[in-house]
Amino acid sequence: MDETLDDFLSLCAQLSSAPDLVLATLIDTWEVRQPLGRRAWLLPDGQRLGTLTLGGCADSVLRRAAQQVRHSARAVRVKVDLGSGEAYEFGLTCSGSVEVHLQLASPAHPLWAKARDERLAGRVLRLVTRYGPDAGVTLLTDAGEREVLGQPLTPAQQARADLPLQGSGGHCAERTPDALYERWLPAIGLVVVGSGPIARPLTQLAHTMGLRVTVTDDRPERLQPQEWPGTQTVLSVCTGQELRLPPLGPQDAVVIHSHDYAHELSVLTRALASPSPYVALVASRRRGQALLKFMQDTGTDPAQLRRIHTPAGFDLGLESPAGIALSILSELAELMGRGKRGRPIQALDHQ
């Protein structure tokens, strides 16, 4: 789960009327946990807008470098030491260093809108940031389409971009001496079945975390799109009809919050027939177990039933709708985190 690219692309749309700005891209790190490929726009008044957050330690260096780029119209690479001086000796600054690539670019360039469309459509995209005097950003889609901001890729860079990247997860990045190569898998999809009290905070939190959100219900009057900000798709049917579901793949989770046995049985049956890695039923333990027993008695494979998370979520000690939504997304995040168990970061830092 990584919302940073989507947040940056939304920012590009908001800045679409701005003139050319300085685009800052994180291309290398030493002893810094921030992922490569984070980006920000550096404005003439000194503001930094985007997902590249290095703290006050780096701001003055980036402002000076951005001014140089504006005056020369040439891209530069800047190495920033995040920990030095007296404050570092007392542990009051960060540590490590980063390298940032700066170039003139426009938030209104079609590349950003195309990337946003690809993300909303749930497709894989690749970004290649080319360094040096021939700087540029190239967007490549699995359909063979491309958008180029600045200079295009060299034949060698194009051949490298066609190779798979090492690593797993929704975002992979590899750095070479002349370019940064990124692969972004589609965002995790979340299908929320029902529009009860937990559904609204669940969809809002999921959107904030970068998930593609769909809501489905048989009460159309409760599914007005303007009442579900951040929800990409709203699927409604008339009361009593079978609920609609989008195609479910290995990147799609389903949370059922309908409190209607007919809908629950129908959706659970269809979800279990898909490769969805997370199928959750919001219900009390007694009600959830009764529903699972009914499904087993009517022929559902017990191994399949063990895929259903009910009661849904982690026990965080929270009982409000927003708290339950947070507990569900916590369980989903751990499951989609490739087996990593949730633990306090404080405990990890001392191992």
Task: Give the model confidence (pLDDT) of 135-166 as tens digits.
Answer: 999 999 988 899 999 999 999 999 999 888 77
For range 181-203, the mean pLDDT? 93
Q: Which of 163, 184, 205 is the last residue of a domain?
A: 184
Inside any domain, residue 342: no
Inside any domain, residue 210: yes
53 Cβ partners below 8 Å, 6+ apart?
34, 38, 40
30 Cβ partners below 8 Å, 6+ apart?
96, 97, 98
**143 and 292 housed in the same domain:** no
**Helix, strand and coil percent figures for the chain, each rounded to 5:** 35, 25, 40
**240 and 136 housed in the same domain:** no
> What integer pLDDT is reported at residue 147 of this predicted model?
94
Inside any domain, residue 341: no
* Cα(125)–Cα(111) distance, integer angstroms: 12
**144 and 78 housed in the same domain:** yes
Inside any domain, residue 348: no
Model pTM above 0.85: no
Among the residue ranges 53-67, 76-90, 172-186, 225-239, the one predicted with the least confidence is: 76-90
Inside any domain, residue 351: no
Task: Give the model confidence (pLDDT) of 105-131 as tens digits.
Answer: 999 999 999 999 998 888 899 999 999
Q: Which of 184, 215, 233 is the last residue of a domain?
A: 184
**209 and 64 housed in the same domain:** no
CB 211 within 8 A of CB 255: no
pLDDT at 179 over 60: yes
**151 and 279 housed in the same domain:** no
Number of domains the chain is built from: 2
**13 and 64 housed in the same domain:** yes
Note down the domain range covering 302: 189-336
Inside any domain, residue 343: no
Inside any domain, residue 350: no
For range 176-204, the mean pLDDT? 93
**38 and 94 housed in the same domain:** yes
Q: Which of 184, 200, 224 is the last residue of a domain?
A: 184
Task: Give the model confidence (pLDDT) of 306-348 as tens digits.
Answer: 999 999 999 999 999 999 999 999 999 888 865 567 767 666 6
Inside any domain, residue 20: yes
